Amino acid sequence: MRPPIAIVTALAALIAAGGTGHAQPGGGADAYAIVIGSNPGGAGQGTLRFAEHDAGSVADVLRHLGDYPAGNVTLLEHPTPEAILAAIDRVGDRLRADASAGRQSVLFFYYSGHARAAALTLGGDELPLATLRERIMALPSTLKIVVLDACQSGAFSGVKGAAPAADFSYNSVSRLRAAGVAVMASSSGSELSQESDRLGASYFTHYLLVALRGAGDIDGDGEVSLDEAYRYAYDRTLAATARTAVGRQHVTLETDLKGKGDVVLTKPARADAKLVLADGLRAELLVQVARTGAVVAEVHKAAGVMHLALPSGSYQVLVRRGAHAVQCKVSLPRGRAVTLDPGPCPTVHIDDTAGKGGPRWDAPRWSVEVSLGSRWADRGDAYTGRLGDFGYDKDFNLPAYYSIGASYRSSRWLTLVVALSRVDSGAYLRDGDTETDHFDWGTHALTFSYRLEQPLIVPRLVAFGAIGAGVAMAHSTLQIGERPATNEVQWGLAASLAAGLRFEMRHVAYTLTTGIDYAPALENLLGDTRTGSGPHLAFGMTFSF
């Protein structure tokens, strides 16, 4: 997950607002790219896993599928602020030379990494956004395309008074023209940008790359334009992140473009190796490098022919239609287009593909949950009332509540939980003639619960409610004077209601839960039943793996 960088979006907004270029991109224009990836975070920020890798992938696609000569693509991994500014200066020199020669030019600026309110965070260093904006805006390119993959990078929509990103439709992008500034951001102003272990990339950059490889070529002209890439990345990122624990992520696009004609980003048709997905193939496809298992494309294939431009090599492709899946091995020789034929491919069980990225669910599935707390209002009932009738008075009893269990997250909203909880306890004593009688009990419940979860606006914070049922076991001990104690074990049904909040980290979550348990296991010979104790409040930890 990329941490919030609200001001990166502000930067994007300023760039978009300040764009004044009128050059006409397309054939004949010189294309330059500055591609930056930075994994390290600053103080209080975690280390990203895929930012630098994503930058490398973007650079590769621009070199091989775009009109970006290898010498015009500057890839900076884990750079210092000075290195970024120097790269901008170098590109600026070449842009000015182009301008002097009357040539049009395109600048593609990509950044993936951490940022804070007013600066990019580059490990222990920061690059002020104002400085970066000033340098980029000073570049004399005809067209500037800025792509930001960082949290809340779409906040510029609000800056410009636009509607929230969720309403940002294709139609608003269709006005795109060919000169000026376009800024694509990985998420809206209030959202987090997320990385995916399964994809080995950030969601946004992954789907942007898949689009650029050809999946985004909606009109089938062999080229992927900015609006096509945006549409594809928007849809796929939104669909994928809707199933994550953090929540949906809306890709945004702000433009200040003039002229006519699409802004072409890549030309998959020119690739030296292509995987062709035939018109009749309708399935979910997962394309992975055979040797490493790295995911290069996750595609929802609908009607129409799709060309995926890929580096030559061996791939395995999981083709899934509903619950049925086949796994195909495909070799893409240089200069060849190979059409995928799932017919002869062996069937695989979905679970078998899990280790290679099969399941679509990215959030942790199995967890161990522990919690400790207290019952905060002991509830009297007929059972304890009867104890009073028989001369017993309440004795000190620690109203501890604890629970340990396991959970399985079956969907974005639903988690199944099995837990063993201490739901009730009590201690009573009675002063006799010459001795004291003691009666105490403890009730445990083994419950199976359904837990519904709803992410809140605050990042990583999830509200949940749970309802469960199971069995309860009450163990009681009666000690009358010096007589041997009488121990009894009684069983009954159990039910529980709970609600709470969870703050999620990567593999650990902290929960605050309140709930009430109904566990009528303890019963006396007169038919009175102890139905349970009062509500509890517990602090818990969840360990996911």
Q: Which residues bind other proteins (CB under 8 A)?
A: 386-387, 389-391, 430, 432-433, 437, 439, 478, 480-481, 483, 485-486, 488, 524-526, 528
Q: How far is the CB of 240 from other proteins (least distance, A)?
A: 60
Residue 373: CB minimum distance to other proteins, A? 30
Pick from 147, 114, 119, 115: nearest CA to 131: 119
Of the two residues 207 and 392, which places its CB atom closer to other proteins in the complex?
392
Pairing of strands 73-77, 30-37: parallel
Residues 9/185, Cβ–Cβ less than 8 Å: yes
Using DSSP's 3-state secondary structure scheme, residue 91 falls into: helix
- Cross-sheet strand order for the sheet of 30-37: 73-77, 30-37, 105-112, 143-149, 179-185, 252-258
Alpha helices in 38-104 (DSSP H): 51-65, 81-100
Closest contact distance (angstroms) between CB of 491 and other proteins is: 16
Integer-rounded Cα radius of gyration of the chain: 30
Distances (CA, A) of 202 to 35, 49, 345, 496: 15, 9, 30, 39
The answer for residues whose C-beta is within 8 angstroms of residue 264's C-beta and 6 or more apart is 25, 26, 67, 223, 224, 225, 226
Amino acid letter at 367?
S
208: closest CA among 227, 192, 222?
227
**Is 221 or 435 the residue whose CB approaches other proteins more closely?**
435
Q: Which amino acid, 143?
A: L
Which is nearer to other proteins, 99 or 478 (by Cβ)? 478
- Compute the least distance from the CB of residue 453 to other proteins, in Å: 43
CB of 422 to other proteins, least distance (A): 22
Nearer to other proteins, 22 or 386 (CB): 386
Please report how close the Cβ of residue 435 comes to other proteins at its closest, in angstroms: 9
CB of 518 to other proteins, least distance (A): 22
User: Is the CB of 167 or the CB of 431 nearer to other proteins?
Assistant: 431
Q: Taking the complex as a whole, how short is the minimal distance between the CB of residue 471 and other proteins, in angstroms?
A: 22
Closest CB to other proteins among 300 and 483? 483
- 21 touches 179 (CB < 8 A): yes
Q: Tell me whether residue 406 or residue 526 sits nearer to other proteins (CB atom).
A: 526
Output 220 or 391, the one with its CB closest to other proteins.
391
